[in-house]
């Protein structure tokens, strides 16, 4: 499973990487820290080989410009990329963010736990869930 993490917080990137290491082989985790890199990365992944395509995007809604809201709108508004599952992975639990995400066809909205062990377990659960869908 090829996964793209869109996250600007280096500590969160490291935690997600650790979670994927614990999950074992079979996963390729790529990450970008800036919103401006996401669409290019996703477009580059859509080639003739299905092994190159991202099968899941973990998106922090609170990244710098363009922010996660704009990225989500662009991804879900493009017929080629709209089918890629997007999970919002953020510290926000604001009702407006949740409402926005689901109105723009996000597949799940997950609030990052503040404890590292809980965060690791959350990542594992999300990935396991999408791996079996």
Domain boundaries, given as residue ranges, for the chain: 2-131
Q: Could you tell me the pTM of the whole model?
A: 0.88
Q: Which of 1-5, 42-46, 79-83, 112-116 has the lowest mean pLDDT?
A: 42-46
**Is the model's pLDDT at 27 over the cut of 60?**
yes
CATH topology (fold) of 2-131: Rossmann fold (3.40.50)
Contact 6, 63 (CB under 8 A): yes
Per-residue model confidence as pLDDT tens digits over 49-105: 555 788 899 999 998 889 999 999 999 998 888 889 999 999 989 999 999 999 999
pLDDT band at 10 (very low <50, low <70, confident <90, very high): very high
């Amino acid at each position: 499973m090829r996964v793209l993490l869109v996250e600007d917080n280096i500590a969160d990137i490291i935690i997600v990487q650790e979670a994927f290491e614990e999950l074992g082989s079979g996963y390729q985790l790529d990450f970008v820290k800036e919103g401006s890199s996401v669409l290019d990365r996703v477009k580059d992944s859509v080639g003739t080989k299905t092994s190159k395509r991202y099968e899941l995007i973990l998106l922090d809604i609170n990244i710098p410009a363009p922010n996660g809201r704009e990225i989500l709108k662009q991804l879900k508004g493009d017929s080629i990329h709209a089918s890629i599952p997007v999970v919002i992975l953020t510290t926000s639990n604001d009702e407006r963010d949740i409402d926005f995400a689901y109105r723009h066809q996000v597949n799940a909205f997950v609030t990052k736990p503040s404890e590292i062990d809980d965060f690791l377990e959350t990542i594992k659960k999300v990935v396991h869930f999408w791996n079996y869908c």
